[in-house]
Chain A
């Protein structure tokens, strides 16, 4: 009977739960789904990570290649993110060129990398003006159940921490690059941006980590990306119902706690991986 009510009046069904300050899957309004992360699963990539946020599954693979540095910044390398939402993850995506959702997510990840200065592009330079690294970050969603931005940011961060670049020297006589695959070093990750997403309901209620159904019923969404010093890298609110300054303040405090949780989880995983 509840299933029938849910199909006919999904919003009313949801409101009944919100009145009791909980959600259909049993979570509190400020509770995240179980987060799991698996690092280094793709052996053909230079760095990889698989993140599961409840049912939402996202995998990030990073490949490093050579490229000539940009002419206006000869001492910098490139970081090129790309988010792919294939038809595999949800019935709302069709095959073909990337849809709007995928493009918006790619732009969001590019902005987070740029704003948070997660890696210094100067670290990616091998020889000024001649050779630099380009990191292709491919983020693919395997299962879409809401809150894709949080999962993508976490996957990217975990994968970057896993990337090992070989040592490259430029041979003086031939001018060619010599790669020493035996000597690899990790990237210097300067900050740890963590995204926290909220959904706005009925213009007043804020819930954390919305599932796919909740995102569909929500009247607005908000994503906050914070680093460890409490500085904001990105406040992404693409339209939707209005929010007051006080509500934003609540979101910030929740984002700070989430950052601590994620950082702890990642440190545990990295520590368990180190003796290889």
Chain B
């Protein structure tokens, strides 16, 4: 069973020589990814962001129940299991967000009347959970060989009451923040695929967070590329 443990050094995104209330302080936490660690699923990945860790497994394209089949494309299903307790309404909402994001990038028309199931298990939650789930899902889909038109990544932004932006916040930073915004961006044109927000913020702050997230996502995509290059160059 091959695995590639690829820790990446702390990636910093400086916002240049800006003066004013929004100073630099944008840095992503240490992240790591391991692929093909589970034997049963067609693809699997474990994504670590700081202390947040999510394990993803992908089964597909596989047989689909007649009631759920779509005649011209694959049926995508996402199951998210929290670390403790039974899945509730919040998990259902997150599953819908992740599923719709995957549906936008997966080329379902190549595998009609099949099902592609993504199972996500939260191993530890220390902030930016939804972004970590998205990253793990993407890596697992790549590992399974599911055809996609682009890769996607999740980035979380927290806005403090004084207007400063913190990327990839920890659980403590999320609680103290005025607003927490999570975006999913695609790798081709860095367009916004998915967004979900908590708290109050203005239109200008939204644009600012989106721009910061787009810059940060480039680092994440570079990490994906490097980790895949290292994995395939060994074999």
Contact = CB atoms under 8 A, between A and B. Distances in A.
Contacts of B199: 115
Q: Chain B interface residue count: which class?
A: 35 or more
A227 B199 CA distance: 12
Contacts, number: 102
A252 B199 CA distance: 17
Interface string B186-204: 1001011111111111110
Contacts of B181: 235
Interface string A90-122: 000000000010011011100100111100000
B200 A245 contact: no
Contact of A107 (B92, B102, B194, B200): B92
B197 to A, nearest CB: 5
B148 to A, nearest CB: 13
Contacts of B19: none
A44 interface: no
B186 A242 contact: yes
Given A107-B93, A238-B97, A241-B104, A252 B189 contact: no
Contacts of B201: 231-232
Contact of B97 (A117, A239, A245, A248): A239
Interface in A193-235: 219-220, 227, 230-235
Interface in A232-276: 232-245, 248-249, 252
B67 to A, nearest CB: 11
Interface stretch (B42-50, B205-213, B220-228): B205-213
B135 to A, nearest CB: 15
A227 B203 CA distance: 12
Contact of B93 (A104, A235, A239, A243): A104
B200 A220 contact: no
B191 A242 contact: yes
Interface in B67-95: 89-90, 92-93, 95
B99 interface: yes
A238 B100 contact: yes
B163 to A, nearest CB: 13
Contact of A248 (B95, B193, B210): B210
B103 interface: yes
Contact of A239 (B89, B90, B99, B198): B99
Interface in A56-89: none
A108 B186 CA distance: 24
Given A232-B203, A239-B102, A242-B104, A103 B93 contact: yes
B96 A104 contact: yes
The CB with the most chain B CB atoms within 10 A, among A100, A114, A239, A245, is that of: A239
A245 B207 contact: yes
Interface in A128-177: none
A199 to B, nearest CB: 13
Nearest to A252: B203
Given A232-B200, A234-B197, A239 B100 contact: yes
For A100, A233, A237, A245, which residue has the most chain B Cβ atoms within 10 angstroms?
A: A237
Contacts of A231: 200-202
B207 A107 contact: no
B99 A248 contact: no
B101 interface: yes
Contacts of A235: 181, 195-197, 206
Contacts of A244: 189, 191-192
Contacts of A239: 97-104, 184, 193-194
A108 B97 CA distance: 12
B207 A249 contact: yes
Contact of B92 (A104, A227, A241, A245): A104
Nearest to A238: B100
Contacts of B196: 235-238
A114 B196 CA distance: 14
A187 to B, nearest CB: 20
A252 B192 CA distance: 15
A245 B211 contact: yes
A232 B206 contact: yes
Contacts of B90: 107
Contacts of A234: 197
A237 B89 contact: no
A180 B210 CA distance: 51
9 contacts: A107-B89, A115-B200, A231-B201, A233-B200, A239-B194, A242-B186, A242-B189, A242-B193, A245-B211
Interface of A: 100, 103-104, 106-108, 111, 114-117, 219-220, 227, 230-245, 248-249, 252
Q: Which are the 3 A-B pairs with shortest beta-carbon distances?
A: A239-B100, A242-B191, A107-B93
